[in-house]
A and B are shown apart, each in its own frame.
Chain A
Amino acid sequence: MSILQIILIFIWSSIVGCGSVLDEFQTHRPLIACSVMGIILGDPAKGLVLGGMLELIALGWMNIGAAQSPDSALASTIATILVIVGGQSNAKGIAIALPVAAAGQVLTVFARTITVAFQHAAVRAADNANFKMIEVLHFSALFVQALRVSIPTTLVAVFVNPDMVKAMLNALPTVVTGGLTVAGGFIVVVGYAMILNMMSVKYLMPFFYLGFVLGGYLKLSLLAFGIVGLIFAILYVQLNPKFTNNKTKVVAESSNSGSFNALADDELED
């Protein structure tokens, strides 16, 4: 690996680390993180496909409030290095990525605890109305998150050696590697379940089962299914008496503050 590549890996994994806490531009999602890593490592096609596979597994990994999900940032960067530089199959790369995601989760919790100190420093800066200092503290907290991804990633990039990785994985019994590959086929359900728990409103669940049955029998592309789903959604909203007949009633109710709150709570509940 050239020096330039190592520098680029450090820069990109720093951006991925920032993305993982900001959750704005989505650079920490495997689809983006692995694809760019692939370009840097000289095998864009492999990075792209690995990103697609890992993205499916990570579909439901999301941070809600203060709760932390497994970390897609570190998992993506390290898995790409192992697959492209370490010469591993995608399935094995993903099998390794998952423990890395757990380690990344611990690291990000640690980083988010360190930043409490930045908050306290900002309170002191506010005493002097020191605007510049507050801004500097806010943005420098981002470096903690950048480094928590870029340091481990760069270390792996520098020290990984294809023969070593191969030897290590070959030492594993086939029951383990075969089992990991099998599990890779259905590990996605955890992510699905996370999304479903967040969205599921009991009276809307029939739409989930409808999707399940149609998906099993129809050979349509995902885009086509998206359009079908959109049509169901529009029809549902148009035909729902809650939104048409009782319009005035709903508005009246809502003006007593808190009823919208109750609705939102309801939907998040189960």
Chain B
Amino acid sequence: MENKKDTKLTKKDIFQTFIFENFQQASFNYETIHGLAFCVDMIPTIKRVYKTKEERVAALKRHLAFFNVTPALCGPVVGITMAMEKGRADGEEINEGTIQSLKVGLMGPLAGVGDPLMWGTLRPILAALGASLALQGSWFGPLIFFFAFNGVRLGLKWYGLKIGLDRGLALVKDISGNLLPKLTEGATVLGLFIMGVLVTKWTTINIPLVVSKTTTGGKTTITTFQQILDQLCPGLPALGLTVLMMYLLKKKVNPIILIFGLFGVGILGYGLGILK
């Protein structure tokens, strides 16, 4: 098979890769995370561009190595790697090391953008919106959450793959440009703002501890701790508790332990009549 090459990846190859990408974490394992998945993503390309067994074995092994990125953003990396494998098969001077280091080089920055964007912003906001509708008994809640999240996710996967493949290396420069930092910062502003709203709106802490009891002219006025706090600013205990949890999580305390700790606080507080 030593003819002059310009192997074309077919539409079917690209579409199959896109389908595989939707199972990026199927074989999630603690040794290589998405290692096996990335190899599967590359199978349609490897089959198309390499014809000898030696080349195929080498390519498969190359892509079984450790890989991990926010699943929604695996597209650009897979696309660029496809472009590079195609180039390598066509006889361009791309060595194994270049392909590997490009994968690793993209993985970090993409996860750095993808995790806060997908898990820190998009999903909590859509889920909070969906949950607020579900609590009112509206089926739009789960439906909006499902279709909006998956719409964005599938778009990122498909266009990420296409752009990665079409633009190849040029994309790397794109990513380090202005657009993504802008998007990340903007999304962070929105996310933080909404989290602030949620902390005060959707946390219920009631401290009916009686602070003072004054009787004037037969009328008894009871002032509770909660009323004083509400006059200062609604939701202060929730804010304090959130900041405390942030601090403990940073100290690497397991969230499950914090959840059980708060249950303990709830039971203790209820038993002593401090919380209601």
Report A's interface with B, CB cutoff 8 A. Answer: 18, 21-26, 29, 31-32, 35, 45, 48-49, 51-53, 55-56, 59-66, 69-70, 95, 98, 101-102, 105, 112-113, 115-116, 118-119, 122-123, 126-129, 131, 134-135, 137-139, 141-142, 175-176, 178-190, 192-201, 204-205, 207-217, 221-223, 225-226, 228-230, 232-234, 236-237, 240, 243, 247, 250-251, 254-255, 257, 259-261, 263-265, 267-268, 270
Contacts and interface: CB of A to CB of B under 8 A. Distances in A.
Contact of A233 (B139, B173, B190, B205): B190
Given A199-B116, A211-B196, A131 B47 contact: yes
B205 A186 contact: yes
Interface in B1-50: 22-33, 35-37, 39-40, 43, 46-47
B177 interface: yes
Interface string B227-245: 0000001110111011101
B91 interface: no
The residue among A26, A119, A123 with the most chain B CB atoms within 10 A of its own CB is A119
Given A31-B142, A204-B192, A216-B233, A188 B255 contact: no
Contacts of B139: 35, 48
B137 to A, nearest CB: 6
Contact of A24 (B24, B184, B188): B24
Nearest to B269: A182
A185 B262 CA distance: 10
11 contacts: A23-B25, A55-B127, A118-B27, A126-B57, A135-B43, A139-B23, A186-B237, A214-B196, A216-B234, A250-B181, A255-B176
Interface residues of B, number: 122
A42 B43 CA distance: 44
Contacts of B178: 243, 247, 250-251
B29 A118 contact: yes
Contact of A216 (B57, B235, B263, B266): B235
Interface string B128-147: 11111111010101100110
Given A32-B142, A232-B193, A264 B112 contact: yes
B61 interface: yes
Contacts of A210: 193, 196
Given A64-B119, A236-B189, A70 B135 contact: no
Contact of A113 (B29, B125, B129, B255): B29
A175 B276 CA distance: 11
Given A31-B131, A212-B196, A190 B60 contact: no
A116 B30 contact: yes
B108 A264 contact: yes
Given A137-B27, A210-B193, A226-B125, A236 B186 contact: yes
Contacts of A223: 129
A84 to B, nearest CB: 15
B79 interface: no
A197 B35 CA distance: 28
Interface of B is mostly: helix
B267 to A, nearest CB: 3
Contacts of A234: 186
Nearest to B27: A141
A214 B105 CA distance: 41
B226 to A, nearest CB: 13
Contacts of A122: 27, 36, 39, 64
Contact of A208 (B111, B123, B141, B192): B192
B128 A232 contact: no
Nearest to B154: A24
Contact of A178 (B32, B72, B113, B270): B270
A35 B142 CA distance: 8
B111 A65 contact: yes
B71 A22 contact: yes
Contacts of A49: 134-135, 137
A55 B135 CA distance: 10
Contact of B60 (A126, A176, A195, A259): A126
Given A55-B127, A215-B198, A216-B234, A21 B25 contact: yes
A111 to B, nearest CB: 9
A190 B259 contact: yes
B213 interface: no
Given A141-B36, A198-B115, A215-B198, 9 more contacts: A32-B142, A102-B260, A135-B40, A188-B203, A189-B203, A232-B190, A237-B185, A257-B176, A261-B112
Given A131-B47, A208-B196, A234-B186, A52 B269 contact: no
A66 B33 contact: yes
